[in-house]
Amino acid sequence: MAPPPPELQSADRQISHPSLRQLQTGSPPYSLEQLLNLFAHPRYFFSGEVALSKRRHILIAVWVTGMSYVIDRIEQEALRVELGISTLPGWAAFRQQIIEFWPWFWLFVALTGCLAGLLVWLVGGWWFRLRLRWAGAENPNPHLSRLVFIYASLVFALPNLFVALLWTGVQARYTTAYSEDIFLSLLVLIFAYWELYSAYVGVRTWFTLDRRKAQLWFAILPGLLYIFTYLAGMLLLRSVGR
């Protein structure tokens, strides 16, 4: 297995920033208490009392977020097939094994989740830091920016994985769960919006921002994008249904 990228390898050593030194100590982020704080009281989670900057904690968050991203991509590809839209090159060749057989589904999610998590950490973290600058932060620390981003992402990623695990126990295959259990799919969408709130609280906790600009870039615009994407998908489904 290839070693983690330099940014993740050096997570324990990139502590010249005072905030990062503070995040080397404290309780683990995956204790029940801190997970509850992440969802219910994100200000407490991002208060500096949790060891967010330890490499092993970051790797777990990156992997979980990556697996959630892969599950979303599988769902999107399943929807494209349902709508008769061409899928990703090569996807059709092994689509049936993944969506019809749970062990293959989870093997694919676990392995590709590593690469997807790395891309989310690098690209998503870069975009997150760019929005911080637009919101008024002066030269925000790249590593600290990514920490807030990746842990806030768990607010959606963990419920998304939980629903997939629940489907594994009660449904014979992914396609059955995807097409029949609409309620849980819609329920997970709530956490996508709650993730925005957690990210907003995180950036307001650690960075000096213009409040209105922070609301615009971390709450209003992403929320509108989610609404637009959902409505566009519903309209597309209705048009195909006719």
Tell me the β-bridge partners of 27: 50
Q: Please, where are the H alpha helices in 135-217?
A: 142-170, 174-180, 182-206, 211-215
The domain ranges of the chain are: 15-241
Mean residue pLDDT of the chain comes to 85
Q: Averaging pLDDT over each range in 15-29, 36-50, 74-88, 175-189, which range is the top one?
A: 36-50
Q: Would you tell me how many other CB atoms lie within 10 Å of the CB of residue 145?
A: 24
pLDDT of residue 157 exceeding 70: yes
Lowest mean pLDDT among 16-25, 165-174, 203-212: 16-25
Q: Which amino acid is at 156?
A: F
pLDDT digits (tens, 9 = 90+) for 68-119: 999 998 888 777 766 666 566 666 667 778 888 899 999 999 999 999 999 9
Band of residue 56 on the pLDDT scale cut at 50, 70, 90: very high
Percent of the chain with pLDDT over 70: 81
Query: Given this model, what pLDDT does residue 7 score?
Result: 46
pLDDT of residue 224 exceeding 80: yes
* Phi and psi at residue 50, to the nearest 5°: -120, 140
The CA R_g of the chain, rounded to the nearest whole Å, is 19
Query: Given this model, what pLDDT does residue 10 score?
Result: 41
Query: Given this model, what pLDDT does residue 88 score?
Result: 63
pLDDT of residue 14 exceeding 80: no
Beta-carbon contacts of 19 under 8 Å, excluding residues fewer than 6 positions away, are: 48, 141, 144, 206
The whole model's pTM is what? 0.86
Query: Given this model, what pLDDT does residue 9 score?
Result: 43
